[in-house]
Amino acid sequence: MRNSHHAVFSVLVLFLVSSLLGSSLAAKLCNNDGDSGCFRSRVLAAQRADRVKELPGQPPVKFRQYAGYVTVNETHGRALFYWFFEATHNPNKKPLLLWLNGGPGCSSVGFGASEELGPFFPQNSTQPKLKLNPYSWNKAANLLFLESPVGVGFSYSNTSRDISELGDSITAKDSYTFLVNWFKRFPQYKSHDFYIAGESYAGHYVPQLSEFVYNQNKIASKNDFINLKGLMIGNALLDDETDQKGMIDYAYDHAVISDGLYQRVNQHCDFKLEHVSKECDGALDEYFDVYKILDMYSLYSPKCVPSTGNSSISQSVAGNRHLPAARGLFRPRLVSHNEGWRKMAAGYDPCASEYTEKYMNRRDVQEALHANVTNIPYPWTHCSGDTDGRIPVTATRYSLKKLGLKTVQDWTPWYTNKQQVGGWTVEYDGLMFVTVRGAGHQVPTFKPREALQLLHHFLANKKLPSFPF
């Protein structure tokens, strides 16, 4: 027995010595930045550190997920938080899609990932519970959510003045830096087709980031080149004048406001102007009063009746934490200050946002996501600062008309399952406009099957079916 024990001990000693030698060798290799073996070692270590093994209340899945921080400015200590899901099947062959929510200042983790198109939705439960989304967009693509700009959700900066300098330009620049550095952490996705998508105020974020990537690609090194293929925006905020005029016209056409109020808004409000009269402000206040009793983001859905002791969704989602200099820098000029502008939709379950905030503020959830590493002294909320109002189809059509694009194929129905009309399309030169019948502001929340169908056709660069099937 002694000999046997001695043999085992010798093996263990040899194993430990070889491990130590291996570690020393790895350390030496990593002093040489040009060594591919060292690079692979660093990449694998970084990915392992961000791997989310299992979330509290999560159902079992076969795809991998990662979450963590990517530094975008080392001098200021500025870092953006991300959550990434591999595609459910063949992730090495699927494209990569970045999703951005709007606001400005609303979380893609809170809305996009947790209530619209991600694989897991928090549920109303005394214990943490996640429901598997059967229409998750990672069935079609590798799915990346980013909390941007800095100050949104778990993203942070160690330099306080960064918050007061926020705007569309710096948001695009930081998001680009994030992408360059994220691809260094996940180089296996660099060669994949890459798409940028989002909704609402991402009507600014998505095209500006896409343009930034396009321009940087002209001068970028091979290592920093991003394989951008296309962009997609839902209910996009594009133009102050058309967005705000469309919002009022839509409310009138859907019998939400009276003839008298509609006339007063048109009489006193010139949406081309940055500053308006007191009469216009008064009329807009009256307009937003209607949305204290209706869900602005889905006229025909019920409102959330908050549970006893919990904050209401309008307070909870908008949050009490404001970006000091955000107002007036990068949002619609006239109506963003109004309380009615500071509410987000929650889809079929109007209290979904309440469940998400409760879940994201759990310490065990944050630890599993490698989030809140700076121990922020306030609760995680969906939005930091004001959020934009719903952008109706009326406003989008006004904006498209203003662009003056050539029409290739006019108003055409497209079909979803069981021979049902899913909506309509208009093909312009270089752009496809798609409506989704019966959807609210957050299309994947209200029409998840149709939204996934739309994504599949978008990624395949195919038109939606124009005949029943």
404-460: same fold as 53-236? yes
CATH number belonging to domain 404-460? 3.40.50.11320
Return the domain boundaries, the chain: 53-236, 238-297, 404-460
For the question of residue 388 being annotated catalytic, the response is: yes
The pLDDT of residue 439: 87
pLDDT tens for 345-370 read 334 678 899 999 999 999 999 999 99
**pLDDT at residue 339 is higher than 70:** no
Catalytic choice (192, 370, 382, 441)? 441
Tell me which of 260 and 4 has the higher pLDDT: 260
The pLDDT of residue 135: 98
Catalytic choice (107, 200, 336, 399)? 200
Are 81 and 109 spatial neighbours (Cβ–Cβ below 8 Å)? yes
Tell me which of 298 and 49 has the higher pLDDT: 49
C-alpha 431/C-alpha 429 separation (Å) is 6
Note the pTM of the prediction, 2 decimals. Answer: 0.83
Kindly tell me the burial class for residue 220, based on how many C-beta atoms sit within 10 Å of its own C-beta (0-12, 13-18, 19 or more).
middle
Q: How confident is the model at residue 46 (pLDDT cuts 50, 70, 90)?
A: very high
For the question of residue 76 being annotated catalytic, the response is: no
Q: How confident is the model at residue 402 (pLDDT cuts 50, 70, 90)?
A: very high
For the question of residue 441 being annotated catalytic, the response is: yes
The pLDDT of residue 306: 64
pLDDT tens for 177-200 read 999 999 999 999 999 999 999 999
Class of domain 53-236: alpha beta
Catalytic choice (175, 353, 388, 399)? 388
What is the chain's mean pLDDT, rounded? 84
